[in-house]
Amino acid sequence: MNIKQLRYVVAIANTGTFREASEQLFVSQPSMSIAVKDLEEELGFQIFDRKNTGATLTVEGERFYEQSQVILRDFDSFEAKYSKPQEVEKHFSIASQHYDFLAPVAVDFSKKNPEVKNFRTFESTTFNILQEVAQGHSELGVVYLNKFNRSGIIRMLDKLELDYEELFLSQTHIYLRKDHPLASKESIRPEELKGLDRVRFTQENEQFLYYSEDLVETFENTYIYNVTDRATLNGILERTDAYATGLGFVDLESVHNVTVVPLEGDHGNSLILVKHKGQPLSAAAQSYKRSLEVYFEAHRF
């Protein structure tokens, strides 16, 4: 058993397939399959049930997966501290839900931190974001809390030994094309969305509602476009009467035909910064946090 095999197990469990895990870790799929099979033979039990549709953890595999995450988190922290710390300082990674402010904040951060030669923004699903931070691949995570998901997300943070800090409070906003019939309104009532198509980001754990990036409930019989990236979401909004929900940020330098209108009602959303519990932020993480704060100060509604 070795650290590499543990990384394979965690990646496969998180992505659900050997193919995606091998692409994520830049390893050939046959090599990963052989390594995991060797590990299963060494352990004396099967970690994954393999099917044409993907790989799922067995009961024993679930317990092994949870312990593997703990070991990897501790190992990554240890390695970052003692293995070529001067090289580690040149790398910085954050994980985030899908937000338009990620690009301008990244540029601001890079200008203020020229010594960080490899800056990574991992824009993904809520589940993957929390796992990224828990496993030490990203020092910070950016997600939102509101009355619909707060209890579920906080339970998951506690389970993963993560902490959070609230950064910004925002009302729910509706994203529409600029010539949409509702775009000229000062605010939109929830019932005005009934009958409209909707665009939303997919999540790999749809059974957990608190993983969703939707800020309002979906009406019955609504046609839904499920997408995985902001470019596709914005492209659909620009071409249809569909809507999306969000915190109200639009990067005008990259999005040209989408506007936002506040949604009426109490939908207070809190953008939070996720980090390891009891672990001080690095200089790069503190600087990134400040870049976020500067952006929010300049774009406060």
What are the residue boundaries of the structural domains of the chain, listed by start?
3-72, 85-158+273-298, 170-262
Q: Which whole-number Å values give the CA distances from 18 to 31, 34, 53, 100, 130, in the listed order?
A: 10, 11, 10, 31, 21
- For residue 179 the two structure tokens come to 């010539």
CATH ID of 3-72, from 1.10.150.120, 1.10.10.10, 1.10.3720.10, 2.60.120.1310: 1.10.10.10
- For residue 223 the two structure tokens come to 């046609």
**DSSP state for residue 239 in the 8-state scheme:** H
Identical fold, 85-158+273-298 and 170-262: yes
The one-letter amino acid at 223:
Y
- The Cβ of residue 135 has, within 10 Å, a number of other Cβ atoms equal to 20
CATH ID of 85-158+273-298, from 3.40.640.10, 3.30.1360.70, 3.40.50.300, 3.40.190.10: 3.40.190.10
The pLDDT score that the predictor gives to residue 295 is 92
pLDDT tens readout for residues 162-198: 999 999 888 899 999 999 999 999 999 999 999 999 9
The pLDDT score that the predictor gives to residue 193 is 93
- For residue 21 the two structure tokens come to 């895990």
Task: Calculate the dihedral angle through the C-alpha atoms of 15, 17, 18, 21, rounding to the nearest 10 degrees.
Answer: -20
The pLDDT score that the predictor gives to residue 215 is 63
Q: What does the alpha-carbon distance between residue 251 and residue 226 come to, in Å, rounded to a whole number?
A: 21
The pLDDT score that the predictor gives to residue 252 is 80
Burial of 54 (0-12, 13-18, 19+ CB in 10 A): middle
Q: What does the alpha-carbon distance between residue 246 and residue 102 come to, in Å, rounded to a whole number?
A: 14
CATH number of 170-262: 3.40.190.290
**DSSP state for residue 243 in the 8-state scheme:** B
Residues 12, 40 contacting (CB under 8 angstroms) = no
Residues 111, 174 contacting (CB under 8 angstroms) = no
Tell me the Ramachandran region of residue 44: left when phi exceeds 0, alpha when psi lies from -120 to 50, beta otherwise: left
Q: What are phi and psi of 79, to 5 degrees?
A: -65, -40
Q: What is the CA radius of gyration of the chain?
A: 21
Report, as ranges of residue numbers, the positions in the chain whose pLDDT lies below 70: 77, 80-89, 204-210, 215, 266-267, 300-301
In which element (H, E) is residue 164 found? strand 162-170
